Chain A
Amino acid sequence: DTGVSQNPRHKITKRGQNVTFRCDPISEHNRLYWYRQTLGQGPEFLTYFQNEAQLEKSRLLSDRFSAERPKGSFSTLEIQRTEQGDSAMYLCASSLRGGTTNEKLFFGSGTQLSVL
Chain B
Amino acid sequence: QKEVEQDPGPLSVPEGAIVSLNCTYSNSAFQYFMWYRQYSRKGPELLMYTYSSGNKEDGRFTAQVDKSSKYISLFIRDSQPSDSATYLCAMQAAGNKLTFGGGTRVLVKP
Can you name 27 A-B pairs with beta carbons within 8 Å?
A4-B43, A33-B98, A40-B8, A41-B103, A42-B4, A42-B100, A42-B102, A43-B88, A43-B100, A44-B100, A45-B97, A93-B43, A101-B31, A101-B32, A101-B95, A102-B32, A104-B34, A104-B49, A105-B46, A106-B46, A107-B36, A107-B43, A109-B42, A109-B43, A110-B41, A110-B43, A112-B41
Q: Which residues does A use to contact B, with CB under 8 Å?
A: 4, 6, 33, 35, 40-45, 48, 56, 91, 93, 97, 101-110, 112
Query: Is B57 engaged at the interface, CB distance under 8 Å to the other chain?
Result: no
CB neighbours of A109 from chain B (8 A) = 41-43
Q: Contacts A101-B94, A102-B51 given: A43-B44 contact, CB under 8 Å? A: yes
How many residue pairs link A and B with beta carbons under 8 A? The number is 57
Query: Is B6 engaged at the interface, CB distance under 8 Å to the other chain?
Result: yes
The closest CB in chain A to the CB of B88 belongs to A42
On chain B, the number of residues with a Cβ less than 8 Å from chain A's Cβ atoms is: 27
How many Å from the CB of B39 to the closest CB on chain A? Answer: 10
Report whether B32 and A56 are in contact in the complex, using a CB–CB cutoff of 8 Å: no
CB neighbours of B32 from chain A (8 A) = 101-102
Within 81-100 of B, Cβ neighbours of A (below 8 Å) are at 88, 90, 92, 94-95, 97-100
Instruction: List 13 extra interface pairs beyond A42-B6, A42-B100, A110-B42, CB under 8 A.
Output: A4-B43, A33-B98, A40-B8, A42-B4, A42-B90, A42-B103, A43-B100, A45-B98, A101-B95, A104-B49, A107-B43, A107-B44, A109-B43
